[in-house]
Amino acid sequence: MSAPRSIPTLDVTALTRTRLRTPGAIRETWGARTAGSLPADDRLLIVAADHGARNALGVGGDPMAMADRGDLLQRLMIALTRPGVDGVLGTADILDDLLMAGALDGKIVLGSMNRGGLQGASFELDDRMTGYTAAAIEAAGLDGGKMLLRIDPADVGTLSTLQSCAVAVGDLAARDKMAMLEPFWSTRRDGAVVNLLDADHVIRSVQIASGLGDTSAHTWLKLPVVPELERVMASTTLPTLLLGGDPTTSPEQTYAAWGAALAIDPVRGLIVGRALLYPPDGDVGAAVDVAAGLVHGTTNGRTA
């Protein structure tokens, strides 16, 4: 892997000034950006930063950990300048900030599409498209779009989410853009949405997500690391990235679980947010370096 680039200077005031005085510069800069590409080892490490738009700001015991935008952007820029980090997933507000801060050249960029299912809302599973559209992803030169798909047979909101995701899969594929689906089998307990993370329920969610749209040619999956992951991955041929979530175990346990999971096909890497951006010791660069070594190195028993 190459040496880390210098961290771009973050000037939050300048970002606001650009939005105020020259908003057209954002579109122009997207047009001039150098795009990223799939690495030669066919493996990806993507940093996720689309949580806030769904009212999910918490990390560990701090419910507002991700609320400071300048702090979040600085953490993202540290991550994006580390060797082996291939790209980022975010909503338009975050990606526009990173773009104008000079952090997205040469990176794979995925736009978050459905953020309407706000955490804690009565309509949480009616997860409508309130972010990027396929047309906007194409216009900005992004590489694809990501959708959260939580499936609860007892919640009618699931149906509209299924339908809108199916349309988006087809719209993205028609533009030769990646359609990244993050499916969960969900239920409500004491009013809160809970994802069922056993192999059988994950397999059911995979089967439903895989069949959405009029083609699967550009469909990828984003899946949790769960027990019996080998059986889960045997249920699909779609390229898959593993998510990190809000970690509840020590970093060492988390890294060990990622390493074992990365040895399973068709797993092709990680798409992780909070576990890398908010590590317990605060050292974002060190956490990212471990993940990059697992994805692109030989830590997991494979040769990159």
Per-residue pLDDT of the chain (304 residues; tens, 9 = 90+): 445 556 767 899 999 999 999 999 999 999 999 999 999 999 999 999 999 999 999 998 899 999 999 999 999 999 999 999 999 999 999 999 999 999 999 999 999 999 999 999 999 999 999 999 999 999 999 999 999 999 999 999 999 999 999 999 999 999 999 999 999 999 999 999 999 999 999 999 999 999 999 999 999 999 999 999 999 999 999 999 999 877 777 899 999 999 999 999 999 999 999 999 999 999 999 999 999 999 998 544 344 4
Is 15 within 8 Å of 23 (Cβ atoms)? Answer: no
Q: Quick count: other Cβ atoms within 10 Å of Cβ 80? A: 25
* Angle, vertex CA 206, rays to CA 201 and CA 208, nearest 5: 100
- Fold classification of 39-296 is TIM Barrel (3.20.20)
